Structure 1
Amino acid sequence: MTDEGDFVPVRGKRRCKRKPQKLSSPDSAITFSNCEIDLQELKDKIERNSNDIISSDFYQGFQEQLGQCLAIPSLASGSSTNRDPSKAGTQSPTSVTEIVCYGIGNFSTCLIARNQLALLLAMREECQVPLYKTSLYDPKFLSAEKELLLELGVNVLDKNEECKRKCHKPTLFYMPHCGKSLYNNLLWSNWSLGLSNLIIIGNSFSNMVDKNPRKQMKKAEYILSIQPYTSEVMLPQTYRLKDVFNDTAIHTFPSAKLQSCPDGFWSDKRKPEYDSEDVEFISNKKINC
């Protein structure tokens, strides 16, 4: 892999429980690449998808799982204060300070991507992360999609980071159905005990290791190495659109597990390199962001 890499997004959608969100803004349409997108119509679609998700059994289960993974009693109890806090887990409470989303895709044309975006908006509100601390990037975002996201108040990254973002505070990375190279880059960038700051919602690391030949996983050596020290919870498979959250899990990296890694585990930190033919990886040299 080259130094710089990018991803080809894959989509997933979900349902949730929460009060309906209103995405307000004047009617407008943007034309680009021989295609016209009505922003108000697109906002209405996102609102419907959001309401669909937050009213679903899937979202209630997701809330509880996320709350338990982060040891946040209010989330673990489905935003109720009546649940015993001891059931939220044994870790110290974790406050997510930022959400970063990579590879969600063209939500203006793809129902899966639009449902994924709906879950992101619901999750952001649930974790009480400010809009300006919620960032998205996809090399395939259209001009109209970027404009809509900016109108919603979230941050649209203007640079292809290739998922090489180093974190010093608890950060939730939402990467539904991204390629292995992207998760690998993120792990490499934080390869230390500081991995405990990361929460990754994306393709199951366990399934990657179990279902891919060892030779293929050599290109994702950081996933292969960290998987035994990762806590993983699969998302509920109860959403009506079965290909939205399939094979998706919440990954955390508890300090106790990281501290049990063998001597020298963190010292070998070679920069990942990928073949130019790797279809899961789009170098930022190939994309004019």
Structure 2
Amino acid sequence: MAAGPANGGWETVGKRRAKRREAGGRTAEQPSVCEGDKVRHRLRETVEELRSSEFWAICRETAQRAVNKYCTTPKAPASCCSPDVGAAKVLEDQKDDIDLCQTTLDLVCYGIGNFSDSVASRYQLALLFLLLETLQIPRVSCLLFDPLFTEWEKSFLKDCGMVVITENEEGKRPINRPTLFYMVHCGKALYNNLLWRNWSPQQLAQTILIGNSFKGIEERSPARILQRDYTYISSILAVTEEAAFPDSNRYLDVFNDTSIHQFPREKLDAKPREFWEGAAEPMYQQCEDLEIIQNG
């Protein structure tokens, strides 16, 4: 893990499914100082467990391949940016099969959940920290939002050097540079909103999305509902390249049905101009099971 910004220490965070939140799942309570220390300790243990797993080894390779096309210059060894315990193991893991390179990547994380009391959230945040470390994305370039974050969790994330988004964007964040969106087990509307807001070849070609498999969404959703309520997911399926996270019995409930999605520029440019014109903002007025918390 990269060191914390203030004291060189290590600090971090986690998630609940949007569907559970919509069904009335409780918000995490503010932990005491002692409980906060326990959260940090558990997260530290979770990061090290993931770091040594075969699951992470495969995820790391898959993520690095996904960002390779954005590489510009050779990247410095991870130890230069991660002076804490565990950096030597990162180098050992990476030296044989991954060519490190400098990226200009931002990372936006939605829906990580109440990491202070959710085991799944803790694992998902631990993976986020490993991605930041491996891809050498500065923590200041990592933005996070969850409508259920407590004040303690927000402060915790800020102390880690990351940026907490203050307004519920509903996934409607425009980009103008390569950006990795980390959205594990988010609702379909959040993915659909993100696609709509960046509905152009220029923007989608710079988008990398880690989240629920679009192929899985297509298989589980009636075509009529997918086309009516989640138009942008339905429309982009044909030009999406998807690499699945490995199956793992150990992390089945945490990372099941998760893939890295990319939208190759050549496929996007092959679409006719009318494919991109007249993109209406999604409203979900007929959607019976909206899986996000909306703004306001």
Q: Give the TM-score taking structure 1 as reference length.
A: 0.80
> Alpha-carbon deviations, 1:107-134, whole Å to 9, x = none?
1111001100000011011111111111
Match of 1:251 in 2: 261
Match of 1:136 in 2: 144
Q: Per residue, is there more helix in 1 or in 2?
A: 2
> Alpha-carbon deviations, 1:135-154, whole Å to 9, x = none?
11000111211121111111
| Contact 2:64/2:135 (8 A) holds in 1 | no
Match of 2:125 among 110, 117, 123: 117
Aligned residues: 255
Match of 2:10 in 1: 23
> Alpha-carbon deviations, 1:162-200, whole Å to 9, x = none?
110111100000000000000000000000012011000
- Deviation, structure 1 residue 242: 1.0
Match of 1:280 in 2: 291
**In the alignment, residue 211 of structure 1 is paired with which amino acid?**
R
The question of 1:43 aligning with 2:40 is answered: yes
Q: Secondary structure at the match of 1:265?
A: helix
Paired residues for 1:207-246 under 5 Å = 207-217=216-226, 218-238=228-248, 240-246=250-256
- Aligned-residue sequence identity (percent) comes to 37
Match of 2:191 in 1: 183
How many angstroms apart in 1 are the aligned matches of 2:256 and 2:210? 12
| Contact 1:64/1:78 (8 A) holds in 2 | no
Unaligned 5+ segments in structure 1 are 1-17, 26-31
Match of 1:4 in 2: none
Which deviates more from structure 2 when the two are superposed, residues 35-44 or residues 131-140?
Answer: 35-44
How many angstroms apart in 1 are the aligned matches of 2:2 and 2:159? 21
Distance 1:33 1:242, change over 3 A: closer
How many angstroms apart in 2 are the aligned matches of 1:236 and 1:34? 33
Q: Secondary structure at the match of 1:169?
A: coil
Distance 1:256 1:221, change over 3 A: same
The question of 1:53 aligning with 2:50 is answered: yes
Match of 1:15 in 2: none
Distance 1:139 1:63, change over 3 A: same
- Deviation, structure 1 residue 268: 2.9
Q: Give the TM-score taking structure 2 as reference length.
A: 0.78
- Deviation, structure 1 residue 155: 0.9
Paired residues for 1:80-91 under 5 Å = 80-83=94-97
Distance 1:160 1:20, change over 3 A: closer
How many angstroms apart in 1 are the aligned matches of 2:63 and 2:257? 16
> Alpha-carbon deviations, 1:18-67, whole Å to 9, x = none?
89995259xxxxxx987534222111111111111111000100111112
Runs of 4+ in 1 over 4 A off after TM superposition: 18-22, 32-35, 72-75, 81-85
The question of 1:69 aligning with 2:69 is answered: no
Which deviates more from structure 2 when the two are superposed, residues 167-176 or residues 237-246?
Answer: 237-246
Match of 1:162 in 2: 170
Match of 1:29 in 2: none
- Deviation, structure 1 residue 83: 4.2
| Contact 1:46/1:114 (8 A) holds in 2 | yes
